[in-house]
Amino acid sequence: MDSIDDYIVYKVEKSKKGTIFFSEDFLSFGSAKAVGKALERLAEKGRISRVARGLYACLDTHDIFGEVQPTTEEIAKAIAKRDKARIIPTGILALNVLGLSSQVPLNTVYLTDGSARTIKVGKRTIKFKKTSPKNLAAIGNVSSLVIQALKEIGKDKITEDEIKIVLKQLKKEEPDRLEHDVKLAPEWIRIIMRKALNNQGNE
């Protein structure tokens, strides 16, 4: 008979490289305790990689850099999907994604309607900060980031160059989503986002 270890390895290896798994994804193969022990054994043998506490993957490899660790965003999205929660990047992460900062944060913060928690991934931390549904009401991938990024910069500190970058990024947003999200932003951010709407209407 195949062991729990064999079942776990088979499930992980037949999935796309880098796919993130949680301990509970393997509970059909045995009890939580038995699965936990099996995952520990497999990680020690190098058959799977432990990404963080309770998170595992069969990582892709690079010829020079070795194992390719999942990004903060990939881990955050996997947790959000499991918890059926919404998340929005905030702070320096939002600035980085939009090209408003070259700084790659070691500590990232996401607003969420799921559970508040902090996940340690090597030297990085991913913090999920509980917020009200209102702060997660934006539906555009770009416009939601813009709102968070501009809040991080601040009304009195935003530069003309940063506004140009924001408007360029907002060109990628779907007009109906942008129009929806403009209404959710603080007034000073709304003024900037409206420029993007006007530009789309003139094209």
For the sheet with 124-130, list strands across it. Answer: 87-89, 107-112, 124-130, 117-121
Render pLDDT for 138-150 as a digit per residue (tens, 0 to 9). 999 999 999 999 9
**Which DSSP category does 185 fall into?**
S
What's the Cα-to-Cα distance from 90 to each of 35, 94, 110, rounded to whole Å?
Answer: 35, 5, 6
What domains are there in the chain, each with its CATH number? 4-66 (1.10.10.10), 71-134 (no CATH), 137-203 (no CATH)
Render pLDDT for 75-93 as a digit per residue (tens, 0 to 9). 999 999 999 999 999 989 9
Helix (H/G/I), strand (E/B), else coil: 141: helix
Give me the pLDDT at residue 95, please.
94
What's the Cα-to-Cα distance from 94 to each of 13, 36, 105, rounded to whole Å?
Answer: 33, 35, 10
Q: Binning pLDDT at 50, 70 and 90, where does residue 24 land?
A: very high
The structure tokens listed for 85 are 């929660």
Q: Binning pLDDT at 50, 70 and 90, where does residue 71 land?
A: confident
Q: Binning pLDDT at 50, 70 and 90, where does residue 126 land?
A: very high
Give me the pLDDT at residue 170, please.
95
Question: Going by C-beta distance under 8 Å and a sequence separation of 6 or more, which residues neighbour residue 173?
Answer: 140, 141, 142, 143, 181, 196
Give me the pLDDT at residue 201, please.
55
**Which DSSP category does 133 fall into?**
G
pLDDT exceeds cutoff 70 at 203:
no
> What is the pLDDT averaged over residues 158-172?
95
Which of the pair, 65 or 155, is modelled with greater confidence?
Answer: 155
Min mean pLDDT across 55-64, 105-114, 159-168 is at: 55-64
Render pLDDT for 42-69 as a digit per residue (tens, 0 to 9). 999 999 999 999 999 988 877 777 778 8
Averaged pLDDT score across all residues of the chain: 91
pLDDT exceeds cutoff 50 at 1:
no
